[in-house]
Amino acid sequence: MPRTTAARRPRAPRGQGERLRADILDAAGRLLADTGDEAKVSIRAVADAVGVTPPSIYLHFADKDALLAEVCDVRFREFDRVVESAGVAADADPLAGLAARGRAYVAFGLANPEHYRLLFMTRRAPVASGADPWEGHEAGRAAFEHLVAATARAIAAGAIAGEPTSVALQLWAAMHGVTSLLIALPGFPWPDPDQLVGDTMRTLVAGLRP
Amino acid sequence: MPRTTAARRPRAPRGQGERLRADILDAAGRLLADTGDEAKVSIRAVADAVGVTPPSIYLHFADKDALLAEVCDVRFREFDRVVESAGVAADADPLAGLAARGRAYVAFGLANPEHYRLLFMTRRAPVASGADPWEGHEAGRAAFEHLVAATARAIAAGAIAGEPTSVALQLWAAMHGVTSLLIALPGFPWPDPDQLVGDTMRTLVAGLRP
DNA sequence: TGTACATCAGTGAACGCGCGTTCACTGATGTAC
DNA sequence: TGTACATCAGTGAACGCGCGTTCACTGATGTAC
């Protein structure tokens, strides 16, 4: 089967070259989600999806890694926005806010498994020790800080006990555990995901009660 | 840099052809652990590590997928053996047995990150619905049943409450969450892994108390 | 005891493929004088 | 107003690479008669 070639994209007018950049990022993200396979996101495939020739990609990104890193960043921002807004909507009760974040976290992962895989299941190079570990991952930093803040509010309200960062890590690890197992092992006889998330959340909250 | 070619392996004597099969499995596993990169485990690289030519692999494995599936199975058996024996050693107190399994689980993952990745972080095709989900993954079934059994003992002893399978899934998801995040995001400013595992285990056990 | 034959455990060379990336180029559009 | 030139936004063709896999073959060893 030959690659489905998109219509040839008309050349951008002068000064609008940056539009192609945005289209490339978008196409790469969609390609990843649609094929469900990071190996299928090749420079050629992305160029084809956008309707442009492969060398054009290099007018906007240094190399393939730079492109993927930026796709990752864009999707991370989306992830943070979705999870945080679900949490904020329920924050009247800080515990409900945390639970809503957990549910939204898992739901995002299951709805966008390949994006989730790229964000949280693919090895991201460790930065040099001493450097800022968040350098180049500002969206990641924001997402984590949002979680720590929500956790701190629940602690301040007396709903749970513990040190905010430690508790946030436990919640994150548990929700990530559920999400990534469901994504990695779809053949396993899982119970209903909602129930698994609910049970896990209830156990954690009970265990963290002051 | 040219691939470091192993000494040419002497031809097996008659009737001993199966020895090469075992050596191939072993070399593929070591290659995965040493390079830390599944993409580097190519038919050519494995053949080279064993000291044989690429077509020889096909005398023993139908194709690359079959080889990787069997590597996976071998490592899964090792994983189950390590975790279960750590648990059995502490089973005098069922709760201590569960905790020992949790620690051994995470330790195995951190000591063999690429094997862990292959076992639990790489998508394994879902089987046809209706078929036995464990078909071809007998080692996986055994490992999971060992965990459920240990959980059931802790429940029977009155140390924790709940339904064995549900509780086992919660414990698994949490330990997997910790392990896989540490593996996937080594650049994150993690606390000491032992502390993270200990905190998570304590929270879960507290939340599951009868 | 000798010899033809079968079998086993591989080898050597090649196939076609898709990949990331580079390089010289093109053609439309704006700007200086 | 005309024209030379610069710039922008790409294209077309090719590079070398490593990959999974196939195919015809080889040479040592056993077995039948």
Closest nucleotide to A20: CA versus each C1': D9
The whole-number pLDDT of residue A5 equals 63
Average pLDDT (B144-151) is: 98
Distance linking the first and last C-alpha atoms of chain B: 61
User: By CA distance, what is A200's nearest residue in B?
Assistant: B170
The confidence score (pLDDT) of residue B1 equals 36
Indicate if the pLDDT at residue A132 is higher than 60. yes
In the prediction, which pLDDT does A8 show?
A: 86
What does A13-25 look like in DSSP terms, one character per residue?
A: PTT-THHHHHHHH
Give whole-number Cα distances, A62 to A22, A52, A56, B22, in Å.
Answer: 15, 17, 11, 44
B155 touches strand C (CB under 7 A): no
Is residue A148 pLDDT above 60, yes or no? yes
| Percent of chain A surpassing pLDDT 90 | 87
Contact, A183 vs A92, CB < 8 A? Answer: no
Taking alpha carbons only, the member of A58, A9, A48 closest to residue A27 is: A48
Q: Is the CB of A15 under 7 A from strand D?
A: yes
Q: Is B12 left (phi over 0), alpha (psi -120 to 50) or beta?
A: beta
pLDDT at A1 over 60: no
**Span A21-49, mean pLDDT?**
97
- Residue A137 confidence (pLDDT): 81
Distance, CA of B155 to CA of B132 (rounded, Å): 28
Q: What is the mean pLDDT of residues A176-187?
A: 96
B48-80 residue pLDDT tens: 999 999 999 999 999 999 999 999 999 999 999
Indicate if the pLDDT at residue B15 is higher than 80.
yes
Q: Which of B137, B183, B196 sits opposite A169 (nearest CB)?
A: B196
Cα–Cα distance for residue pair B180/B146, rounded to 1 Å: 21
> Residue B2 pLDDT > 50, yes or no?
no
Q: Are A19 and A98 in contact (CB under 8 A)?
A: no
Is A180 in the B-facing interface, judged by CB distances under 8 Å?
yes
CA distance B201 to chain A (A): 9
Q: Tell me the shortest Cα–Cα distance from B162 to chain A, in angstroms.
A: 10
Residue B61: its pLDDT value, please?
A: 98
Given a cut of 50, is residue B133 above it in pLDDT? yes
By C-alpha distance, which of B105, B40, B106, B48 is closest to B68? B40
What's the confidence (pLDDT) of residue A150?
98
- pLDDT tens figures, A85-131: 999 999 999 999 999 999 999 999 999 999 999 999 998 777 677 77
Q: What is the pLDDT of residue A2?
A: 41
Contact A67, A46 (CB under 8 A): yes
User: Which member of A166, A177, A196 has the closest CB to residue B177?
Assistant: A177
Among B192, B106, B97, B206, residue whose Cα is nearest residue B154: B97
CA torsion, ordered A62, A67, A68, A74, to nearest 10 deg: 140
Give the CA distances from residue B79 to residues B152, B153, B163, B187, in Å, rounded to whole numbers and listed in that order.
21, 21, 25, 26
| pLDDT, mean over chain B | 94
The pLDDT confidence band at residue B35, using thresholds 50, 70 and 90, is very high
| Banded pLDDT at B4 (limits 50, 70, 90) | low
pLDDT at A56 over 80: yes
Q: Name the more confident of A206 and B124.
A: A206
Structure tokens at B191: 């606390």
